[in-house]
Amino acid sequence: MMRVVIVDAGGANTGSVRYAFERLDIDATLVTDAASIRAADRVILPGVGTAAQVMARLAQLDLVEVLRTLERPLLGICVGMQLLFDASDEGEVAGLGVLPGRVSRLAGGPGLRVPHMGWSTLRALRADPLVEGIDGEQAYFVHSYAAPVTDDCVMAGDHGQAFAAVVRRGHIAGTQFHPERSAGIGARVLRNFLSPAFEA
């Protein structure tokens, strides 16, 4: 059976992420130790709150270098995805640095509130097994900061500016939206992440 672990980074969404995997008949274990993370087949890094809070929690657990050097498939969710990048303007904090780029605050604009909250359209930029069968559908977002659209961006969102909604580089991936709150589309992304095709 596939071993899926969820890094307990102190976010309030760990329970709902775990339940999302239960709906896929996967028992995802909440962990805080390096050995469990390294032994897993799939690793989930969720995050709710600020980048600084989550990085401080990872540092407290001595997991920063573990995640930076992890060779297993890793999926960051929301702030967890933002922390895959070099740095974030939210608290001027260094991220894990496994993806190049800097996370910055959404500018907003007329009729565009920040935080960006609610259902928003996903636009495919390139094909990838992680987003197989998804384009033009909507996912659920709650965020004030976002990663730039770079070569690692698989799908983009828009909230007055284009931002990275799904990223992927090798075994490292992330979603800015919450798959655990995005109904069938979120379930599809999680299922795709679990699929052997993700590693192909």
Q: How many CB atoms lie within 10 A of CB 78?
A: 28
Known catalytic residues are 78, 178, 180
Contact (CB, 8 A) for 51 and 103: yes
| Alpha-carbon gap, residue 79 to 25, rounded angstroms | 25
And the tokens for 172?
């490292």
Residue 53 parent element (H or E): helix 51-60
Distance CA 97, CA 48 (A): 19
8 Å CB contact between 83 and 95: yes
Residue located via tokens 């097994």: 129
**Amino acid letter, 143:** H
Contact assessment for residue 106 and residue 94, using Cβ atoms and an 8 Å cutoff: no
Distance of CA 40 to the CA centre of its chain: 17
CA distance 43 to 4: 6
